[in-house]
Structure 1
C-alpha cells in the first residue's frame, strides 16, 4: 500500500537555492532574527489523503501504563506456568519414588 509520493514543493527558506523570476528572488518575509526568507524548492514525501488516518493511528505516543499492564500480565503468566509445572514435576517425582 503506497502512503504517498515524493514531490517537489515550494517552501519559504534561506536564500540557498532560491527561485528566481526575472533575475530576482521571490521574497516571502523574514525569520525571527530579521533575516530575509525566499521561496525555494525541496523534495518531500507527501502523504496521500486517503492514508492520513492510518498514519495518524500508528503515530500515537507510547502508552507506558498500557505497556506496564501487558508486561505485568505476561510476567504473571510465566510465573504461574512455572509454578504449575514445578508442582506437576514434584507430584511426578513423588509417584515415581513411591
Structure 2
C-alpha cells in the first residue's frame, strides 16, 4: 500500500518559475530581505492523510536508553550462553579423561 503519490505542486521561490501569464512570471511576494519570490512548480511526494500517523510514528528520534537496554540484554545472553557451554565442555572433558 502506497503512503502517498507523486504530484506537481505550486510553491513560491526565489527563482523565476515555469508558471507564466502573458510571458511574465507570477510574483507571490517578497522574502524577509525584500527579494522577490515567484510562483513555480515542483514535483513532490505528497502523503495520503490516512498514512500520516504511520509516518509520524516511524519518524521518532532514536531512543538511546532503550537501545542500551536491548544491547545489554543481548550481551548478557551471549556471555551466559558462552559460560554455560564452556562449563558443559569442561565437564565433558573431565568425564572423557576419567
Q: By the TM > 0.5 criterion, same fold?
A: yes
For residue 9 of structure 2, what is the aligned residue in structure 1?
9
User: How far apart, in 1, do the equivalents of 2:38 and 2:18 lie?
Assistant: 6
Question: Is the 2:8–2:43 contact (alpha carbons within 8 Å) kept by the matching residues of 1?
Answer: yes
- Runs of at least 5 residues in structure 1 that lack an aligned partner in the other structure: none
For residue 69 of structure 2, what is the aligned residue in structure 1?
69
Distance 1:34 1:18, change over 3 A: farther
- Runs of at least 5 residues in structure 2 that lack an aligned partner in the other structure: none
CA positional deviation for 1:88: 0.5
Deviations 1:9-66 (A, max 9, x none): 0001023324222333222221122110011111000011111111111111111111
TM-score of the pair, normalised by structure 1: 0.92
Aligned residue for 2:46, secondary structure, equals: strand
User: How far apart, in 1, do the equivalents of 2:86 and 2:15 lie?
Assistant: 72
Kindly report the root-mean-square deviation, in angstroms, between the aligned alpha carbons of the 2 structures: 1.2
Question: Is the 1:4–1:45 contact (alpha carbons within 8 Å) kept by the matching residues of 2?
Answer: yes
Aligned length: 98
For residue 83 of structure 1, what is the aligned residue in structure 2?
83
Q: How does 1:1-98 map to 2 (within 5 A)?
A: 1-98=1-98
TM-score of the pair, normalised by structure 2: 0.92
Question: Is the 2:5–2:47 contact (alpha carbons within 8 Å) kept by the matching residues of 1?
Answer: yes
Question: Is the 2:16–2:25 contact (alpha carbons within 8 Å) kept by the matching residues of 1?
Answer: no
User: How far apart, in 2, do the equivalents of 1:18 and 1:26 lie?
Assistant: 9
Runs of 4+ in 1 over 3 A off after TM superposition: none
